[in-house]
């Protein structure tokens, strides 16, 4: 009986693999006459695991080479679902659609989507453009109504309800369900998101960075309510590329437990082979750049990592014994932008494992030592790490992974949590100009206008870049010392 079940499972997955292969072959032969138009077939295949089936997913503009294979984690028992592009495939007479037809048609679809999303994000109550331009009158006026901006606030109950119909949820909330450009499609990003409260803030963060080609791992703190966890589960069920970390850690500031969820998410994300860079985020952060801008910056980085580092400002008590292998310990932070090989090294290299044991056992703030140390010891030969002096400073080695105001900049709210300024609408002028990719930290319960306006700008910029109305200059990023002087 057991044997019989096993063999049906086996043959099911074999059928699945055969099915996937035959679809790929179909595409290959269909396009065989013009090989130049079809170079690679995406290999984004997740190893079939028990209880998982595969979903062949193609966005409307997909060409055969764009087709991805995702794990359909929503439907454990469901047979394979195969969605092919809308383009009619006539087996009798394989005709390649003419170049002028196809992109035109799909571009139209995307144009409508980006314009619609930008319209949805428009904040009615305040003039965001004026706030970014530092109009004192508008800022003062906005301060009186910021708590009412974009109401009703959405709580757990709302999200459980909204996500009961995923298609409707994606449309109503204005998610961008296309990679938009070939450049972005070929440069998937991966994110960890450490969250514990404010579901609306988490969902709006996800929406701002969501693209179907990227990957997201959400870790819900053990301390979060069951209702919050269920809400996050419901959210992830609506997107095949958003996963929830199966183990939950009770995160305690200053302990290894800050680092642990990041390592868990790296492990969860590792099985997706396409992504090129990894970011760490929390539920109190928000992007300052569009996906397109991130891809342009990271392409210019050509593998360079962006991590904070210092020896001068490190308190040496935090390291109670010398690090192994003669490695020089460096103080940094848990906010990182790193290439895929850096993550590979952390997950699979023995040196990283021994260093991690040391960090756990003999340092006070493991999360502030581990990543920074790996990035500033070039003798380890990890790709993208920095060969210069490990000192973050504004000019020579800026840290652009996070905008974080430790009191060195004006703080509009005057409100600090653990010495970090809580960002609010009065900070919009400096946030609009910032070179950083993400900002920390926001509380939606304190200020709804700041998130509303950042959202409006991100979606406007996405639209304008897509329509060719706005370009993004990466020369500043390309000229950075950590980009030129890397392993």
Ligand X SMILES: *[C@@H]1O[C@H](CO)[C@@H](O)[C@H](O)[C@H]1NC(C)=O
Q: CB of 42: closest distance to ligand X in angstroms?
A: 27
Instruction: Using the minimum distance from each CB to ligand X, give the nearer residue, 243 or 487.
Output: 487
* Minimum distance of ligand X from residue 161's CB (angstroms): 4
Backbone angles phi, psi at 175, to 5 degrees: -65, 145
Tokens representing 351 are 């040196």
Provide the minimum distance between the beta carbon of 164 and ligand X in the complex, in angstroms, as a whole number. 5
Residue closer to ligand X by CB (options 155, 257) is 155
- List the structure tokens of 303: 């593998």
Nearer to ligand X, 62 or 380 (CB): 380
CB of 213 vs ligand X, minimal distance in Å: 25
Asked if the peptide bond before residue 441 counts as cis, ω within 30 degrees of 0, the response is yes
CA distance 43 to 405: 42
Q: Which residues of 289-325 are buried (b: 16+ CB within 10 A; e: fewer)?
A: bbbbbbbbbbbbbebbbbbbbbeeebeeeebeeebee
Q: Are strands 416-417 and 420-421 parallel, antiparallel or unpaired?
A: antiparallel
- Cβ-based nearer residue to ligand X, 55 or 453: 453
Sign of CA pseudo-dihedral 206, 212, 217, 221: positive
User: Which of residues 191 and 443 has its CB atom nearest to ligand X in the complex?
Assistant: 443
CA distances from 229 to 124, 220, 265, 363 (A): 31, 6, 16, 31
User: What is the 3 state secondary structure string of 411-429?
Assistant: CCCCCEECCEECCCHHHHH
The nearer residue to ligand X, 180 or 487, going by C-beta atoms, is 487
Nearest approach in angstroms of CB 175 to ligand X is 18
Cα 120 to the center of its chain, rounded Å: 22
Give min distance, CB of 326 to ligand X, in A: 11
| Site residues, ligand X (CB under 6 A) | 118, 128-129, 132, 155-157, 161, 164, 227, 349-351, 380-381, 456-457, 460
Query: Alpha-carbon distance 103 to 216, whole Å?
Result: 28
The CA-atom distances, in angstroms, between 370 and each of 13, 263, 267, 393 are: 40, 11, 16, 20
The rounded distance, in Å, linking the Cα atoms of 401 and 90 is: 48
> Looking at beta carbons only, is 186 or 464 nearer to ligand X?
464
Provide, rounded to whole angstroms, the least separation between the CB of residue 172 and ligand X. 12
> What is the smallest separation between the CB atom of 348 and ligand X, expressed in angstroms?
7
- In the bound state with ligand X, the residue whose beta carbon lies nearer, of 185 and 465, is 465
The DSSP symbol for 329 reads P
Beta bridge partners of 82: 56
């Amino acid at each position: 009986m057991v044997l019989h079940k096993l063999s049906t499972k086996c043959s099911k997955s074999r059928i699945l693999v055969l099915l996937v292969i035959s679809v790929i072959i179909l595409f290959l032969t269909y396009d065989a006459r013009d090989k130049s138009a079809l170079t690679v077939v995406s290999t984004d295949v997740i190893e079939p695991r028990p209880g998982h089936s595969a979903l062949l997913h193609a966005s409307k503009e997909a060409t055969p080479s764009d087709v991805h294979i995702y794990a359909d984690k929503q439907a454990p028992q469901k047979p394979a679902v195969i969605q092919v592009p809308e383009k009619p495939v006539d087996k009798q007479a394989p005709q390649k659609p003419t170049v002028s037809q196809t992109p035109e048609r799909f571009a139209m679809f995307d144009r409508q989507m980006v314009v619609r999303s930008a319209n949805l994000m428009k904040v009615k109550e305040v003039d965001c453009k004026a706030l970014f331009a530092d109009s004192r009158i508008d800022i003062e006026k906005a301060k009186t109504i910021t708590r009412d901006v974009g109401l009703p606030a959405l709580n757990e109950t709302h999200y459980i309800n909204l996500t009961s119909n995923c298609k409707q949820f994606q449309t109503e909330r204005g998610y961008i369900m296309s990679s938009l450009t070939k450049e972005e499609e070929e440069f998937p990003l991966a994110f960890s998101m450490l969250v514990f409260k404010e579901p609306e803030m988490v969902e709006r963060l996800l929406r701002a960075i969501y693209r179907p080609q990227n990957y997201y791992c959400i870790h819900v703190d053990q301390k979060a309510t069951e209702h919050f966890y269920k809400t996050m589960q419901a959210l992830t069920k609506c997107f095949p590329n958003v996963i929830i970390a199966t183990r939950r850690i009770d995160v305690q500031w200053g302990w290894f437990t800050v680092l642990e969820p990041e390592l868990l998410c790296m492990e969860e994300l590792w099985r997706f082979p396409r992504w090129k860079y990894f970011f760490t985020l929390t539920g109190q952060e928000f992007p300052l750049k569009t996906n397109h801008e991130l891809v342009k910056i990271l392409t210019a980085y050509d593998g360079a990592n962006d991590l904070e580092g210092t020896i001068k400002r490190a308190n040496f008590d935090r390291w109670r014994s010398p690090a192994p292998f003669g490695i020089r310990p460096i103080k940094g932070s848990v906010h990182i932008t790193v290439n895929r090989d850096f993550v590979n090294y952390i997950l699979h290299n023995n040196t990283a494992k021994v260093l991690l044991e040391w960090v756990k056992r003999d340092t006070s703030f493991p999360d502030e030592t581990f990543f920074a140390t790996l990035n500033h010891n070039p003798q380890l030969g990890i790709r993208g790490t920095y060969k210069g002096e490990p000192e973050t400073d504004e000019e020579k080695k800026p840290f652009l992974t996070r905008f974080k105001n430790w009191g060195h900049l004006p703080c509009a709210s005057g409100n600090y949590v653990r010495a970090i300024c809580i960002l609010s609408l009065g900070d919009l002028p400096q946030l609009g100009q910032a070179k950083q990719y993400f900002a920390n930290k926001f509380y939606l319960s304190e200020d709804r206008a700041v998130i509303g306006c950042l959202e409006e700008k991100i979606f406007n910029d996405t639209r304008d870049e897509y329509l060719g109305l706005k370009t993004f200059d990466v020369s500043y990023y390309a000229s950075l010392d950590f980009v030129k002087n890397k392993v």
